[in-house]
Structure 1
Amino acid sequence: MKQRTKVIIDTDVDFDDYMAIVYLMQNPDIDVIAISVTGCGAVHLSKGVENVANLLTLFGNHALKLPVLRGASAPLSFSNVFPADVRNGADLHYAAAFPGVNPSPAIYEAQSWLHDFFMHNDEPVTVLSIGGGTNFGTLFRSAQQNPALKAKLQSGIQQIVMMGGNILPRDISPGAMGNIIPTLGDNVIYRNEVAEWNIFIDPLGAQLMFESGVPLRLIALNATNEVPLDQEFVSKLNAINTPQAKFLSAVLAYPENAAGIGTYLSFWDPLAACTIPLPALVTTEAFKLYVCQELNEEDDQSASLIVDSKHGSRIEVAIAANADAVHAEFLRVLSLPMPDTRHCTGN
């Protein structure tokens, strides 16, 4: 029997995070062992923990005790936040109904659980980072003062797959500009034209992940821009008659999400998730990168990715993607029957 890939998901529980989480929970080749929540991105922390705990009711009683980790409520640097309408929608889980309320969720403090897990874990784990770098950046910062933990993280984390960032046109063609202003609509509260949201939320957290010494594959806007969230995909998803597909269809039908289908929404986090079992879905190139930490309100370049062969960390960056193959893979997994009791075993 093929050994399943163990995955820890770190999420800010946005609409596309639900897509990524459901895809991995439904995938027979994946064993999700914990989900850590950050309150620094789309969702507020307490609502995010509650929503993830209740999301587990989609996957049967055996999933209810999957560890849900309560992470950071504030970033390590700056105080950038999503607009209120985005956060409100995330808190309300986009009006999509969960099958039920998790009666006794297994909720842990993220840093304590992650420390204990990696100090005692001997099996390779993949981390899917789809909520910014705060939770794992905090863990790696702690490891800088704890050589034993640092060694365990570097040996225990097989890879980090992180949705975030973009390589600007001056560095590679085709390039991708940032997605801060395009997703704000008329509510332009930031004048940053180069950053991507996950890294913009906490540039220091992302940099700590970059320099952790753990192999990191970055699913950048260069790749996600090639996989649109369009009406053809949504129609095919709506035709799948499983509870998981119906839940995601309801999430995407939320008015603010529906307005972006076929326009500005891309397959951001689910593309990152799909590359865990199928890395060939994206084309990658290695760069030496660091995350710009300087905030200049007149010309804000903070959270942009700087290519620097001397000071950067080696990062494998997804610069292109096969949209048809990505859509087909996602829909294939969402069409599968309910995962059996071998899944979601936790720690």
Structure 2
Amino acid sequence: MNVLIDTDVDFDDYMAMLYLLKHPDIKVDGISVTGTGDAHLSHGLRNVSNMLTLTGNPKDLTIPVVKGFNSPLRYSNTFPGSERQAADDHYDAAFPFTNPHQVHMDAIPFLAEYLLSTKEPVTLLCIGGGTTWGNFLDYAEKNRPLASAIQDKVERVVMMGGNLTKEFVEPGAEGNIQPTLEAPPCYTNKVAEWNIFIDPLGAQKIIQSKLNLTLVALNATQQVPITSHFVEALAQIENNSARFLTQVLASDSIAPGIGDYLDFWDPLAASVITNPELITTTSFPIRVEQTLNEENDTSGQILIDETNGTFVEVALSADAEATYINYLNIISGDNVTI
């Protein structure tokens, strides 16, 4: 299966990307990096390129790593500065060596050339918000062959993002802006999830694109917490990828959340690409709230809207034990127990 990844290079993005890179049934054809999420763009590009040294596969070193954008399509929301600094520094975890193939073209021409030339269907994993593909879909509107290629070649989109509150489903999932450590005090939003909150318009463009979209929402990911038991099992795996991830999860900015507020956000979305049975989905007509009210902000909230929404599959539950075992098996390259 051919896969494109769009990432903001947070700790769980590394977990997701390494899962796909090590999966025997997956061929990663390109990784676009957004500068509007956790890592700043220049740091994210360098870190993803160097991450490719972890797999031990020389072919991975030449996977295209391409530049997204430094600003969202709407508003200017950002992660807390301390979190961005930790992501820029790749959580003080070491890469084996510096990837010599650090050529970073812009995302739009890369994606356009790729989709116009590929003969194979491709799955898109969005784990960095909607900015890159929101811009790309805008660009494609002016190019009919490219717009057709997107519809014909992008077989599926799996996007980690969003949540449906108890206003819409039971059990509902509240937003995760406020619980973030050192969340900027100016943010009053209690109903959005970070990937959507960063760029609500970019996310809306992906949702309304009519692509075959599965939204892996907080409703599902909160059922798969990152536990100390999982981290201990990961630490028993003796390869570069597992050692790197173990170091990341042990870093000062990540370790306090183990067993508390950190969930299997992006790695669950990546796992769904190869093992869709890990989640249960329901189709809803959804849209992303765009209006900003700084006193009681609901921008980025996922709304069920029978009139203006677009039907997509939303993951509401997940099998935690099966997710852990599947993930560890792929990272280890063998069968493990947990």
TM-score by length of 1: 0.94
2:296 pairs with one of 276, 296, 299: 299
2:227 corresponding residue in structure 1: 230
1:47 pairs with one of 43, 46, 50: 43
1:328 pairs with one of 322, 325, 333: 325
Q: Do the aligned residues in 2 keep the contact of 1:72 with 1:135 (CA within 8 Å)?
A: yes
* Cα distance change, pair 314–323 in 1 and its aligned pair in 2 (3 A): same
2:18 corresponding residue in structure 1: 22
1:198 corresponding residue in structure 2: 195
Distance 1:256 1:58 in 2: 22
2:9 pairs with one of 8, 13, 20: 13
2:168 corresponding residue in structure 1: 171
Distance 1:66 1:146 in 2: 26
Which secondary structure state, in structure 1, belongs to the residue aligned with residue 97 of structure 2? coil
Residues 1:289 and 2:286 aligned together: yes
Distance 1:98 1:189 in 2: 36
Between 231-240 and 98-107, the greater mean CA deviation after superposition: 98-107
* Superposition deviation, residue 189 in structure 1: 3.4
- Higher relative contact order by CA 8 Å / sep ≥ 6: 1 or 2? 1
Distance 1:187 1:291 in 2: 22
Between 136-145 and 67-76, the greater mean CA deviation after superposition: 136-145
* Cα distance change, pair 295–186 in 1 and its aligned pair in 2 (3 A): closer
Which secondary structure state, in structure 1, belongs to the residue aligned with residue 167 of structure 2? coil
Q: Do the aligned residues in 2 keep the contact of 1:159 with 1:214 (CA within 8 Å)?
A: yes
| Counterparts of residues 270-289 of structure 1 (less than 5 Å) | 270-289=267-286
Distance 1:97 1:183 in 2: 25
* Superposition deviation, residue 187 in structure 1: 4.8
* Superposition deviation, residue 306 in structure 1: 1.1
Which secondary structure state, in structure 1, belongs to the residue aligned with residue 157 of structure 2? strand
Residues 1:109 and 2:131 aligned together: no
1:313 corresponding residue in structure 2: 310
Distance 2:194 2:10 in 1: 12
Distance 1:185 1:76 in 2: 25
Distance 1:177 1:213 in 2: 26
Q: Do the aligned residues in 2 keep the contact of 1:226 with 1:321 (CA within 8 Å)?
A: yes
TM-score by length of 2: 0.97
Between 55-64 and 280-289, the greater mean CA deviation after superposition: 55-64
Identical pairs, percent: 49
1:340 corresponding residue in structure 2: none
Distance 2:16 2:101 in 1: 24
Distance 2:260 2:43 in 1: 28
Which secondary structure state, in structure 1, belongs to the residue aligned with residue 191 of structure 2? coil
Provide, for residues 162-218 of structure 1, a one-character-per-residue CA deviation record: whole Å limited to 9, x for no partner: 000001101110110000001134753311000000000000000010111211000
Distance 1:319 1:244 in 2: 29
* Superposition deviation, residue 87 in structure 1: 0.2
* Superposition deviation, residue 121 in structure 1: 1.9
Unaligned 5+ segments in structure 2 are none
1:145 pairs with one of 119, 138, 142: 142
Q: Do the aligned residues in 1 keep the contact of 2:284 with 2:311 (CA within 8 Å)?
A: yes
1:248 corresponding residue in structure 2: 245
Unaligned 5+ segments in structure 1 are 338-347
